[in-house]
Chains A and B, each alone.
Chain A
């Protein structure tokens, strides 16, 4: 069972700050090409926003993010990253050689988008994995 920390201030502040954390996390994930950041950092921020909801809202937060969703997200991220790597193998490149992923497209542009999607999938993966670890620690994995 998830214990809720009863505090009016924590409740109000977390309601206000969680959307901001998540929007900034999306910015960090998708802006890795130009700024410091990327999937790992943004994923940790997304996980931190969910854990803040868990602490301040308790079981209420399971409606928005069920405890089983963490592991699904992590698995989806890892699988999608692996499939992204194998896309180029199909068309004659090496594993994770994004320049060959889609035939007929410019290699440089493909590598740009390959990096982008790799960061996004890493973000899903880290997000899900950290929330799954938190849920396992607090609920014993059963919700």
Chain B
């Protein structure tokens, strides 16, 4: 089993190394990354939005929808943390925190265990 894992890793690594031959060279002006919209951004960011820092112009203006999604993801992460870590009220109305529950006799995730 261990040998099989080693062989698999070697195969995947070899495949990835072989695939790097198709990647464009670093800084290649003909590569897809520098021939599509990025040329327009570099040439027009200052005139379009009066913003010398074109990274900011791309981030907040041209790709504003993407940034909006990122921001909503941050809020969703905060909400998820609060949902998981909030102190909950169990059935008899007693407030038990996440850490207190674990300490009270190892009741585990079963919320009725404390009652």
- B 79-115 to A, binary, CB cutoff 8 A, 1 in contact else 0: 1011011110000000101110000000000000000
Interface of A is mostly: helix
Segment with Cβ contacts to A, from B12-20, B22-30, B33-41, B53-61: B53-61
The answer for the CA separation of A38 and B56 in the assembled complex, in Å, is 7
Q: Are A114 and B61 in contact (CB under 8 A)?
A: yes
B55 and chain A: residue at smallest CB distance: A36
Q: Considering the chains assembled together, what is the distance between the CA atoms of A96 and B63 in angstroms? A: 9
CB nearest neighbor in A for B82: A136
Q: Which of A33, A77, A128, A137 interacts with B85 by CB under 8 Å? A: A137
CB–CB B81/A33 < 8 A? no
Partner of B57, one of A115, A121, A130: A115
Q: Are A81 and B86 in contact (CB under 8 A)?
A: no
Q: How far is the CA of A70 from the CA of B77 in the complex (A)?
A: 13
Specify which chain A residues have a CB less than 8 angstroms from the CB of B48 in the assembled complex: 108, 111
Question: In the assembled complex, which residues on chain A have CB atoms less than 8 Å from the CB atom of B71?
Answer: 77-78, 81, 121-122, 125-126
Q: Which residues of B contact A108 (CB under 8 A)?
A: 47-50
CB distance from A53 to the nearest CB of B (A): 19
Chain B interface (Cβ < 8 Å from any Cβ of A): 47-53, 55-57, 59-61, 64-65, 67-68, 70-72, 74-75, 77-79, 81-82, 84-87, 95, 97-99
Beyond known contacts A77-B75, A112-B50: 6 more, CB 8 A cutoff? A33-B56, A38-B56, A70-B78, A112-B49, A118-B64, A142-B87
